[in-house]
Structure 1
Amino acid sequence: MLLYLSVLDTEEEKDKFTEVYEQYRHFCWYVANQLLEDAQMAEDAVQETFLALTRHLDKVGDVESPATRKFLMTIVKSKAIDILRKRKPEQSMEESEYELPDPKQDVLGDYISRENYNALISCVLELDESYRVIFEYKYVHQLSDREIGELLDISPKLVNVRYYRARKKLQEMLKKEVAGRGGR
């Protein structure tokens, strides 16, 4: 823990970090272990989580709030998935192409503005983890592409690519849902 504290500048930050660490380190390990099924790799994911937290401690308000717990859970899941991805390099991601959404077909924007929250959430939960995490960081935690990239250890451009691909997938899912409702 001294390594983490040495990165922080003020006593207030150090106190807050210590409180978060003490409150959530076991929770983070549990979440990581559930995904990785390996105690040592889970510990690595937890260490990477708290290292990332030193750069984003300003995103933590009340230490005991559900938002803080969810924020840490999102980070540790991302770190665990990164470890899994490194362990299985044959599963390459095709993020080299940059796809822009068709502004005329912004079904996602319509859903958000029409209060179809539950339908949208169920579609978001069906997204692949790599896309869902980007949405969560962007909309729940309101992080920038650069901040998300730092947390996920990817470039801001890749964050943007995944975001637009996720939007495109969500739009397709929502179109099917709208069509399904019209056919009832």
Structure 2
Amino acid sequence: MMRNFYERRRVSSDMKEKQQRYEALVHAFHADIFRYAFYLIQDKSIAEDVVQETFLRAWRSLDALKDEKAAKAWLITIVRRENARRFEKKQFDTVDIDANPVADEVIFTETSLQEADMQRLLCMLSESYREPLILQLLFGYSGEEIAAQLNLNKNTVMTRLFRARSQLKELLSKQTSEKGRHNG
């Protein structure tokens, strides 16, 4: 009888500890993980779903996370896999655009236009260049951390970051010169 009591007490204590670890994980990384998912997906509601699924998987596998310092990288990996799973099971519906007109009711500010413009330019980069750049810009990851996250050589990451920035500068200058021609 006492053995059962101590077993229940130990299990309860373990569950409470796991709950506290999970809540700390969510509190510390939710905003960053959502921001990364949004950059990958470009749709707020789908990004929210992917983040929710990410944290659900994190809860289920929390005991596998031994190094708390690796939590952010672990969560980013889960987000990337969840995003990939989305395409494995998704059957895309086609819609006739001409038959379904959509009114655009969004009011753009200059800042939101600049952010949307930058996001559009980032999306023009190939994924191999875009992903390391986003990891560096959003999370402040170093070349070594990005290399570990993407399972690449550090020199490869540094080359991709350099090329991504160069391509982005080229796209920006092209865009600026085109705007100048249209306005002049």
TM tier relative to shorter chain = 0.3 to 0.5
- Structure with higher RCO (Cα < 8 A, 6+ apart): 1
TM-score by length of 1: 0.45
Higher Rg: 2
